[in-house]
Amino acid sequence: MDELLVVSAGWNTPCMALRTPSFLDLETLLSQAEYHDINVPVAQDIVETTVSKRSGGGKAGIGALALNGSAGSDFQFQSTYSLAPREKATVSKVIDGLIRDKAVTVNPAGDSALFKDALVEIEGTARITAASVMSKLFFVFRQLMRDRDIDDLSELANLDVHDTDVAQAIQRVYLHNELLPLPMLLEVTGSSLPHKVYVHVRPDFFINEASADRLEGDLRILGSVYRLIPDGEFRVTDEWLLHGWEFMMRRIMMAQIQDDLREVTQQLTRLGLDVPEDDVQAYISGPAVVIDAIALY
């Protein structure tokens, strides 16, 4: 972590850096502070939600996954908020207090510091996984199924992403970077941990500009251990890929979706989107850890 050294009267006093979060779950942060007996102000509700009416429909095609639609779709958006300088200082002091009291393990180097719900701060380079890139596409498909009252999964076959209405919906969520009510799965490389590191980011609590470019790049992540995946095991990615779908439908789709995801990846690549073929799609393979983000800065 960056440090500012203040030199006075021949001795050095280390001071933590003022943090500028791009994502902050303030309520969870302050709950952690209260749990660890750190005196902080009471959290205030500063997240707003709006709903905008969007048109959608048309015929849709993807391998074994086609549907018709013409009705409008309700897209839910999460409003972002700003932190005043004084609030940034408060947040930074809370994080400093958690670290000082050893409630947070900074840059853990092995498995010993990792257990369910443990607080950690890690540093590395983050990028959005293919599972989250494609989750927007499945969000659009679910909207079309709902609007046209389609309940047969076989009608998801041969979806045509070049259809005018479907293409417009896809352009809104990909090219216009609309923030949808979907959790994101990031992969973090270059951390101190010896295995793969992923970060679960919920679809709210973004500060200032809630866009994908604030999720990728060099970041420090404060969060709690969400999932531990041992070597030789794997975990399906349906909670990100098919977020919002009914539970049994998710299970049915995940049982046969891997080949379809490869075809989706190829079609998105032809549309100019960079989706690495070896990226996380239907499952995460161990050894890996998934961190539930509290703050990104």
Mean pLDDT of the chain: 74
Query: What is the pLDDT averaged over residues 37-52?
Result: 54
Q: What is the pLDDT of residue 227?
A: 94
Average pLDDT (221-237) is 93
Q: Which residue has the higher pLDDT, 43 or 36?
A: 36
Q: Is the pLDDT of residue 289 over 50?
A: yes
pLDDT in tens, 2-12: 443 333 333 33
Position with higher pLDDT, 248 vs 266? 248
- The answer on pLDDT for 172 being more than 80 is no
Q: pTM value? A: 0.74
What whole-number distance in Å separates Cα of residue 167 and Cα of residue 146? 18
pLDDT band at 31 (very low <50, low <70, confident <90, very high): very high
Q: How confident is the model at residue 63 (pLDDT cuts 50, 70, 90)?
A: very low
Q: pLDDT: is 124 or 170 the higher one?
A: 124
* pLDDT band with cut points at 50, 70 and 90 for residue 170: confident
pLDDT at 54 over 70: no
